[in-house]
Every structure is written in C-alpha cells, then in structure tokens.
Amino acid sequence: MSNVLDHYHFLHEIPELGFEEFKTSAYIADQLERAGLKVTRNINGTTGIVAEIDSGAPGPVLALRADMDALGHIIDGQPCARHTCGHDGHSSVVLTAAQELLEEGTVKKGRLKLLFQPAEELGAGALAMVEGGALDDVEMILGFHLRPLEECQVGQAVPAVYYSACSTLEATIKGAPAHAARPHLGVNALDAAVQAVQAVNTIHLAPGLSWSVKATRFLCDAGVTNSVPDEARVVWDLRSQENAPMTLLKEKVTQAILHSVAAVGATAEVVVLKEMPAAEIHDDATEIIRAAITEVLGESGLTAAKTTPGSEDFFYYPVKRPAVKAGFWGLGTNLVPGLHHPDMHFDIHSLAIGVNIFKACVRRVLG
C-alpha cells in the first residue's frame, strides 16, 4: 500500500486548476476503491469525491475534508498550475488516513465519510459539495491546512484556525465618450473610478471590529489617449474577521461606489466575483482535535488557537448546514516563504503527522 509521501509526490506532479482536477480526482478515487472503500465520483457534476467507511453499527457520521485544486500562476511569463497552497498535501493526508483506518478496522460505530472537494481557491468547491448532498447525513466535519512557519513549526499543530470572511467586489463604471478636446460633452469614467476608490477609502466600521477594504485592480483604457474614456473597472478586496460585519461592509462599499460615481454623472454596476464566509467552529470539534494533537505530539505540540485574515471555503459547510459541527486545525510544516508564493515549500515529512492526527480524531469519534 502506498504511503502518504508516495501519494504526495504523485499529486504534486499533476497540479490542476479548480473544477479541472480530472487526473487528481481519478487518482484519489482509484486509490480509495483499490483499498476497498465505497466511492462516489463526480459529486454534483464536478470532480468532487465522497468515499465512505461504514462500520455497520449505529453511531455518528463524521466527515474528513480535503481540497484538491492548485493555483494558476504566471511564472517566467507562462501561465501554469502549481500546488502553492498545499492542497496536494491535504489530499495525500486524508487519502492515507482513509486507507489506514480501513486497514486497521478503526471505524467500529457509525460511518466515516471522506470528502475530496474541487475548487477551494475559487470559493466554489465546498458549495458544490454541499449542493450535491455530500453533507446531508453528516454530524461533524473536520478539515485542516498546512500552516506557514511563523504560525507553527513541525512538531506543533493548531487546534482551531479562525479564518476571516472575504469578498471580492467589481464595479463596472459607465461614463460617456467624447473627444478629449471637448470633455464637457462626455463623462470621464476614469475620473468616476478615482472618486469611487477615494470614497471607499473613507468608510469606517466600529473600531473594535477587525476588517479591511482596499482597491486591488483598476482597469481603464479607451484605446486612445485623446478621447474621454467611457468605461472603467475597479476591484476591491474586503475582509472581516466575523460574518455579520461583512454584510454591513459590502453594503457600505456598494453605496460609496454608486453615490461617488453618480456625483460626476457616471453609473456603476457592482457584482460579487467571489466570497467566502468567516470561520464557524464548534467547540465539540475543537475539543476532539485538541485531544488528538496532544495524543500524537504531546502537550508541547499543542499551540493556542489562531486567527488569520486569510479565507477558506471550508466554512461554507457549517454556514450552509448549521447543524453540522465543524472543526478546522492547522499542521506545523515549516512552510516558507508563504502560502500562494510561487516557490512555496515545506517539510513533507510533517504529512505523516497529519495522518496520525486525523486518525486519532476518528478513533475518538468512531472507535
């Protein structure tokens, strides 16, 4: 039977973008079937997989979740997919844990489900799994992520990672074209877009809240420099540590854009390109993870819970299915220079620790 590093090396060499994880998904599903698990492919018409170990005895239904997609980078001028968020590591860990748990007969009551989801980076894979019914009979779901070196090191793990909500808004701003010699006959979309950026920068939320908003893309080109441009597109990245203030922030940003462009005679259409909810973590799940980390790494390996301004589409599972208890932990891997960096790398021997922590979680719930 393959071990976690064999799986990792194979998956690392075939990085695929969100919803295009065809080879990745086929490899994982084949490996699970070969080990004797019941496997359902193409969840909701995607590359998503659900596998299951059924004890045959009554008991809880626990799910472990891995993501499968790579990121699209432009390296040396060439677009390419690369595993710079470590989802190849996540899939390898959950796949290996599933194989070993079946082989060792650990699941003695209830059922264990293994979710391999597509398109985490697109913020759409978890939603597709939920809509495909993957969570309908699940009582608890556990996920994890490799953590960067500054958060924890090999031999340590984080029992709960509190991710932020993020939302990406795009405004298409419409003015009216005119010859640059006669600007009074047009509406300059570039001017309007600048107003919108400035207006959004004046937004305030209560000082006790943790949030941010910033413009991250500004596109305006009429093709010539001697005419008044009639269209501009601006993108803003919004963050909030909690879900409720994100609703308020989105509303404030949208109103600031609409009113500021109207002040110069332009109009705007605002759309959400992508969003992910903030962490909704259940204490019962964190307690199981905490005990599992302590069992595998000892007290010295257990760090405090962490908050991060990053986002994870995992939290669509508890947000869309509030009855499901969710836990999300972080694995120390000495990962540098950072997640999403084109040269991201980590100590791959830490993956075996991840397998053991997940197995200890399963033993506590279904053993």
Can you give the binding site for Zn ion, defined by CB under 5 A?
85
Q: Where are the alpha helices (DSSP H) in 39-124?
A: 87-104
Nearer to Zn ion, 49 or 85 (CB): 85
Cβ neighbours around 179 below 10 Å, total:
11
In a 10 Å sphere around its CB, with 0-12 CB exposed, 13-18 middle and 19+ buried, how is residue 163 labelled? Answer: buried
Place of tokens 């499901």: 324
Nearer to Zn ion, 211 or 314 (CB): 314
Q: How far is the CB of 174 from Zn ion (least distance, A)?
A: 34
**DSSP labels, 4-19:** HHHHHHHHHTS---TT
Q: How far is the CB of 121 from Zn ion (least distance, A)?
A: 5
Nearer to Zn ion, 31 or 84 (CB): 84
Identify whether the C-beta of residue 91 lies closer than 8 Å to the C-beta of residue 11: yes
Nearer to Zn ion, 43 or 85 (CB): 85
Q: How far is the CB of 311 from Zn ion (least distance, A)?
A: 9
For the chain, helix (H) and strand (E) counts, in that order, are 9, 17
User: In the complex, which residue's CB is closest to Zn ion?
Assistant: 85
Distance between CA 44 and CA 28 in Å, rounded?
A: 17
Task: Tell me the backbone φ, ψ of residue 21, rounded to 5 degrees.
Answer: -80, 55
Q: What angle do CA 280, 284, 285 make, to 5 degrees?
A: 65
AA letter at 303: T
Q: How far is the CB of 341 from Zn ion (least distance, A)?
A: 11
Nearer to Zn ion, 143 or 186 (CB): 143
Nearer to Zn ion, 83 or 113 (CB): 83
Nearer to Zn ion, 73 or 364 (CB): 73
Q: How far is the CB of 96 from Zn ion (least distance, A)?
A: 18
Q: How far is the CB of 266 from Zn ion (least distance, A)?
A: 35
Nearest to 280, CA basis, from 135, 164, 155, 144: 164
Q: How far is the CB of 80 from Zn ion (least distance, A)?
A: 16
Helix (H, G, I), strand (E, B) or coil at 114: strand
